[in-house]
A and B are shown apart, each in its own frame.
Chain A
Amino acid sequence: MTDTTQMGPGNPEEREARIAEYVLGTLAGAEREAFEAELARDAALQRAVADWSDRMQPLADSVPAEAPPVALRRRVFDQIAARAPAEAKPFSLARWLAWTFGLSALAGAAAVALVLVFTPRPPVLAGYAMLHDDKGSDSVVAFQVDRDRHDMFVYASTPAAGAGHDYELWVLPQGKNPISLGVFKAGERQQRPLTATTAAFIEDGTELAVSLEPAGGAPGGQPTGPILFTGFFHPPVQPSAP
């Protein structure tokens, strides 16, 4: 990425103002289209737009949440069932821009040039696992390990464990007893340090499981309750070179 890219007419102040106005949404019609055409060609501009989006995000967070109609969820799932699942395609800035900012079409050459600017980076994560139950429900426990394998993150989109109980996460190394990764609550993201010893057991294909245990976790250090969710650890889907 370089700041020497030509940004079109206008001084830096003017440019900065238009970025902010674009994110705010006050640009309309031809002004908006002109900006989006520039955006498609300009990686630095696109990053600045992402920065402004993050800056304004607390405003979106301030709006009270409201449950959408149940039927809408069904409609969305019907529609995705009718489509091929999202593929892990190589990262394409053109596609990212098109979908994020609603650009309808991009000049092929410009898009290719930008994809070259956005060369893939090393993975941020060492990997992750999505743990599901065997009933086909939408409950899921997301587990991830950072690139340096120093931290793990757990997020459970599941019903609460219930009074007097906790969910406990386990690594199931082949031919060894389960190793506890601790208890966690539904609906909260939890970050914990990962010991090097435990981290060494978590590799591509390692199975993880969540059991229901008495509050505070299995007293003997081995699972006692029913196994509710299982899944396998694997590397993240990474953008590959185009």
Chain B
Amino acid sequence: MVPFANDSIGGIRSLDALDSLIEATAAGDRAAFGALYDAAAPQLFGLALRIVKRRDWAEDVLQETLLSAWRNAGAYRRDLGSGKAWLTVILRNRALDRLRREASARLDDSGGDVPEIADPSPSALDLTIAGDAGQRLMTCLDQLEETQRHAILMAYFDGLTHEQLAARMASPLGTVKSWIRRGLQRLKGCLEP
């Protein structure tokens, strides 16, 4: 995978710039919003595609995310986390909403389940994560049991609920829940020295 450092934002260390662009956007500065769009949209679009899998849905999700960022930039506070994480939270919530809306519409139609996904979730070993925080997270993911890691990454990248994960992993719901729960617990313990 292409490390983040190669993309248009210009590397992990440049990302505080998003914070100031969001703040300038809050002041109604359209050019700053344009710069924010150019800096952040490709990474956000990549993530949207990864989660919802369909280009048309990913475009909708990205558009909603950016409009939300424009309207609500004034609510961003850098002491509550990076601008990038703020944008990512908005995007993931929109993407999950979209997936779940489509899934329930499909259930109403045909009783079908989540669509088969051609592109399986990467194992932690396939991930290339730039930056110190990324390295730490990689190391900690590697220390999880395979099932824990797999469940967490599928949930994050494919937007699956507990129930959907249980179906995908052909395991009882309770088992999958406990993989996730223990995995996240260990992850936190590992990330916090």
Contacts and interface: CB of A to CB of B under 8 A. Distances in A.
Q: Do the two chains belong together in a single complex?
A: yes
Interface of A: 13, 16-17, 20-21, 24-29, 47, 50-51, 53-69, 72-73, 75-77, 79-80, 83, 85-89, 91-92, 95-96, 99-102, 121, 124-125, 128, 130, 132, 138-140, 142, 144, 153, 155, 157, 187-189, 236-237, 239
A11 B2 CA distance: 41
Contact of A68 (B29, B33, B45): B45
A92 B26 CA distance: 13
B89 A101 contact: yes
B36 to A, nearest CB: 8
Nearest to A102: B93
A155 B36 CA distance: 11
A27 B161 CA distance: 6
A59 B72 contact: no
Contact of B74 (A60, A88, A125): A88
A contact face: mostly helix, strand, loop, or mixed: mixed
Contacts of B78: 124
B14 A188 contact: yes
A60 to B, nearest CB: 5
B90 interface: yes
B72 to A, nearest CB: 4
Given A63-B50, A91-B77, 9 more contacts: A21-B181, A51-B81, A61-B43, A68-B62, A80-B67, A87-B74, A89-B75, A99-B75, A140-B34
A189 B24 contact: no
B13 A189 contact: yes
Question: Is chain B's interface secondary structure helix, strand, loop, or mixed overall?
Answer: helix
B184 A157 contact: no
Interface string B39-82: 10111011101100000000100110011101111111111111
A157 B38 contact: yes
Contact of B4 (A61, A101, A138): A61
Contacts of A83: 70-71
A175 B131 CA distance: 44
Contacts of A75: 63
A24 B38 CA distance: 27
A56 B160 CA distance: 16
A128 B23 contact: yes
Contacts of A73: 37, 41
B29 to A, nearest CB: 6
Interface of B: 1-4, 7-17, 20-21, 23-35, 37-39, 41-43, 45-47, 49-50, 59, 62-63, 66-68, 70-82, 84-86, 88-90, 92-94, 96-97, 100, 127-131, 133-134, 137-138, 152-153, 155-157, 159-163, 165, 180-181, 184-185, 187-188, 191
Contacts of B63: 72, 75-76, 79
A155 B14 contact: yes
Nearest to B88: A60
Given A89-B74, A91-B75, A187-B8, A128 B24 contact: yes
Contacts of B49: 66
Given A61-B129, A140-B35, A25 B156 contact: yes
Contact of B72 (A27, A72, A99, A139): A99
Contact of A124 (B35, B46, B66, B79): B79
Contact of A61 (B12, B93, B100, B160): B12
A189 B7 contact: no
